[in-house]
Chain A
Amino acid sequence: EDQVTQSPEALRLQEGESSSLNCSYTVSGLRGLFWYRQDPGKGPEFLFTLYSAGEEKEKERLKATLTKKESFLHITAPKPEDSATYLCAFDNNAGNMLTFGGGTRLMVKP
């Protein structure tokens, strides 16, 4: 069964303390791996799409990478405004939807 698991569930960092969020997936026919950011009371905000192992994408302090089994969201020198829940999701050949992981709630303390 296709599934995606995110870890850790919650992560507390000090401002400037770099870290990585993990998204492990088991998907047949992966079409794309997506990262979204969700703030409390808001809808998910699109960050990245990765399509093949070895691909990397960057945006400000965030970098997303993809292997055949995992995706990582690396956060370099985070700031308090990076605090949010980060969601990963996959799109496969079998369906017409995104399947989301449970998310990682990131809290960055000043």
Chain B
Amino acid sequence: NAGVMQNPRHLVRRRGQEARLRCSPMKGHSHVYWYRQLPEEGLKFMVYLQKENIIDESGMPKERFSAEFPKEGPSILRIQQVVRGDSAAYFCASSSTGLNTEAFFGQGTRLTVV
């Protein structure tokens, strides 16, 4: 049973470009969470999605950030017009129940904005 798969593992973007981060949850999991870990800071919740629905986006910056989890395919976190402050590790987690019981994390995508 493959774990949570994130790609790419490393992503370099120039200021002003778009970044697309992908997350495939564990088999049988329909709940996906995105977290951001800034350098020297803790993990911060961004958004919680179920298939085709955004359930809670209270941690998402109001501008430039969006997320989706389509009926088919991986969940996508999209950052438009990236700035240096977006450089961070972005982690995706999935669970089967949506109650955060045993949410499993992927290895993360490390975004560097140059």
Bound state CA distance, A42 and B108, in angstroms?
7
Asked if B102 contacts A46 (CB within 8 A), the reply is yes
Does A63 touch B at the CB level, under 8 Å? no
Which residues of chain A are near B59, meaning CB under 8 Å? 97
**Contact with B99, one of A31, A36, A43, A99 (Cβ below 8 angstroms):** A31
Interface contacts (Cβ under 8 Å), in number, total 62
Does B69 touch A at the CB level, under 8 Å? no
Which residues of chain A are near B12, meaning CB under 8 Å? none
**Contact with B100, one of A43, A91, A101 (Cβ below 8 angstroms):** A91
Which residues of chain A are near B100, meaning CB under 8 Å? 31-32, 34, 91, 96-98
From 1 to 59 in chain A, residues with beta carbon under 8 angstroms from any chain B beta carbon are: 31-32, 34, 36, 41-46, 49
Asked if B42 contacts A87 (CB within 8 A), the reply is yes
Given contacts A43-B108, A44-B43, contact A98 B56 (CB under 8 A): no
Does B25 touch A at the CB level, under 8 Å? no
From 26 to 54 in chain B, residues with beta carbon under 8 angstroms from any chain A beta carbon are: 33, 35, 41-45, 48
From 59 to 110 in chain A, residues with beta carbon under 8 angstroms from any chain B beta carbon are: 87, 89, 91, 95-103
Asked if B102 contacts A96 (CB within 8 A), the reply is no
**Contact with A102, one of B42, B98, B106 (Cβ below 8 angstroms):** B42
- A residues contacting B by CB (< 8 A) are 31-32, 34, 36, 41-46, 49, 87, 89, 91, 95-103
- B residues contacting A by CB (< 8 A) are 4, 6, 33, 35, 41-45, 48, 55-56, 58-59, 91, 98-108, 110
